[in-house]
Chains A and B, each alone.
Chain A
Amino acid sequence: MNKNRGLIDFLFRISGIAAALLFTSLVLLVARANPLEAFANIFMGVVSTPIKIADTIVAWVPLILTTCGLVIAFTAGLMNIGIEGQIMLGAIMTTGALRLLQDSGLPPAVIILAGFLAGVAGGVIWALLVGALKFYGGVSEIFAGLGLNFIATALSLWLIFGPWKRAGVASMSGTAPFDAALWLPMFQGFRLSPWSLSLAIISIVVVFILMKFTVVGLRLKAVGKNTRAAIQMGISPSKYMLLSFILCGVFAGLTGAVQVLGVYHRLIPSISSGYGFLGLLVAMLVDYQIIWAVPVALLFAALNIGGIQLPIMMKLDSTLSGVMQSSLVFFFLIMGGVRKKLQRKEEKPSNE
């Protein structure tokens, strides 16, 4: 019986993936493209050269960081859609700190560290703004977050085209790049920095420990699952919800800092690159299990990188990766719902 149930669970999971692949194939057929060829191109786009593999990991790092923050927010029952803006503010603050300190003569390591701290502060400020709007203004975190996302975008655009304008002409390519000394050191010949990679790994470990082995993690979970029971257990829901906003802001700020210090080395208009929203999808898919974020984020990052091949090889738009990612999560959720519905039906007669 138990063995059967495990098998059935597994089959449902697989069928969600299969349904998503089928759906994507249909979409490709509608676009008059050969699905197999497209999938092959995506796959090759990821594994064909070491540089591409490294690029996948470069995309994996921010995705993991945002997922780490979002898993905490989800645990407390909060849909932190504002994470995109929190990343952007992190990036803006990091850039600001670097611009301020780059000519100060301080050792580069100190400046980089200051950049990280400023980024974290930026993410936390933006997240707390959402929290304050929710608790003191009655504005749902979804709308507050979305609005603040757009405001963050405007802020970065204003900075890029205004006060932080590149000498000469302001353009969508962003502010002037920083001196190479202020870049996070990278593996020779790759865009991947060992520092950001370790940061991602440490983050997973930290969140894993927080969720699995600390009382705070457990309290967040209780608040998210049953606010009223949490009160009976002496836990103040609003305090812990604010805490989860702050923690999520920390990770968002780190993401922004990594993108500035380790990837773009300047502020660009869409510095968050949609990793916040993508992180939301990953967090929904892994269902509070941060460990699962490792492979899922890797898959999503690979789809992002592999998708770049599509316009080059097949004249298809690279948004196909987005279609694959969101349909994967959607069908996964649907299949989960179907499974629960069937289980309920199965259990009902057994009671009589």
Chain B
Amino acid sequence: MNEFITGMAGVVAAATPVAVAVIGETFSERSGVINLSANGLIVLTAMVGFATAYTTGVVWLGLLAGFLTGAAAGLLISFSSISLKQSQVAVGFILSMLFRDLAYFLGTPFMVVPGPTVQSLPIPVLKDIPVIGQLFFQQNILVYFCYILITFSYYWIFHTRQGLILRGVGEQPTSAYSRGIDVNRQRYIYTALGAGLIGLAGPMYSLCVKAGWNGTMTGLDGIGWIVLSITIFGGWNPLRGTFGSVLFVFLQWLGLVLQSRWASVPSQVLQVAPFPLMILTLLFVNVGDTEWVTKMLAMLPRSVRGAVYRLIRFLRKPPPASLGVPFERE
């Protein structure tokens, strides 16, 4: 039992960077901009954050560097997709490749050197609560930051006027514009902020969860894509997104545990287990919206249909209506 709780505490810690990145992507997509560069960006900022912390010896400077690098990348994406109207998918994909290669190239001097890490910081009193204390309050400061971020971002998006404006811009930019809102400025701000958060996830790995920089062996390649799909799974809601992140890390952990039991399954196979899961989740979430399912549903008896519709609507939160579409005033 104790072993299990330790494992779960590890899951909580390992889920934080994923959750932070998912929240970042959620902000960006809520405003209407897909940041498809997340995968490369996490790798790059992991390297930049580690290098900064290693050179200066100050951990938080590493985190700051990650955030700033991410924000700069966000501005680059905004500029090319909002101001220059280039395809968000194309720009994101290219930048994802560029960031990743840049990280591997510039990161060579920092390969496999011991660097500073974030220290664990149990919270007095709370840490002594049985189970819960062990799970949530014997962590490091980044995890606590993540608690705040989840609460704050949820509150911001759904319970503040600024959050309403953010959602409005992503849903109906024309309506938002005719109410005096500068749609493109909002998109610039939230894309930069969101990319900054994704950028924070990098150093959260290299300075904490998977401390150190090991070049291509760091094992961060692929996480960004998972982040993007958890954002969809999470229905662009930070709470659901956090749940998705924890679920993902839990399944990864489960894979590791199972691996030690089943020595015959090669480790590489279990490592990619999240990906078929990603497809299945997206399938599960989206299939209700396809033509053939709609046709099939129309044939169901009325009594059953209502329940099925409700289930589909619960599973599939529609994406922001103008996601990926540039805004042009008349």
Contacts and interface: CB of A to CB of B under 8 A. Distances in A.
Contacts of A208: none
A334 B86 contact: yes
Contact of A336 (B86, B104, B269): B86
Contact of A150 (B83, B85, B101, B272): B272
Given A143-B225, A326-B97, A334-B80, A161 B105 contact: no
A127 B111 CA distance: 37
B282 A27 contact: no
Nearest to A153: B272
B94 A144 contact: no
Contact of A340 (B85, B100, B105): B85
Interface in A156-175: 157-158, 161-162
A132 to B, nearest CB: 10
A153 B215 CA distance: 20
| Most central of B105, B232, B272, B279 by chain A CB within 10 Å | B105
Contacts of B273: 154
Given A139-B286, A161-B266, A334-B86, A326 B98 contact: yes
Contact of A319 (B36, B80, B101, B286): B101
B97 A147 contact: no
B219 to A, nearest CB: 13
A56 to B, nearest CB: 19
Interface stretch (B2-10, B53-61, B287-295, B297-305): B287-295
- How many residues of B sit at the interface, in one of the four size bands? 35 or more
Given A79-B89, A79-B93, A330-B98, A317 B104 contact: yes
A327 interface: yes
A280 B93 contact: yes
A334 B87 CA distance: 11
A251 B271 CA distance: 29
B283 A139 contact: yes
Interface in B94-142: 94-95, 97-98, 100-102, 104-109
A145 to B, nearest CB: 10
A150 to B, nearest CB: 4
Helix, strand, loop or mixed for chain A's interface?
helix
Contact of A135 (B222, B271, B290): B290
| Most central of B106, B232, B279, B286 by chain A CB within 10 Å | B279
A316 B95 CA distance: 21
Interface of A: 27, 30-31, 79, 81, 133, 135-140, 142-144, 146-151, 153-154, 157-158, 161-162, 277, 280-281, 284, 315-317, 319-320, 322-323, 325-327, 329-330, 333-334, 336-338, 340-341
Interface of B: 36, 80, 83-86, 89-91, 93-95, 97-98, 100-102, 104-109, 215, 222, 225, 228-229, 232, 266, 268-269, 271-273, 275-276, 278-279, 282-283, 286-290, 292
15 contacts: A31-B109, A136-B287, A136-B290, A137-B287, A138-B290, A139-B279, A143-B228, A147-B275, A153-B272, A154-B269, A281-B97, A316-B108, A320-B105, A322-B105, A334-B84
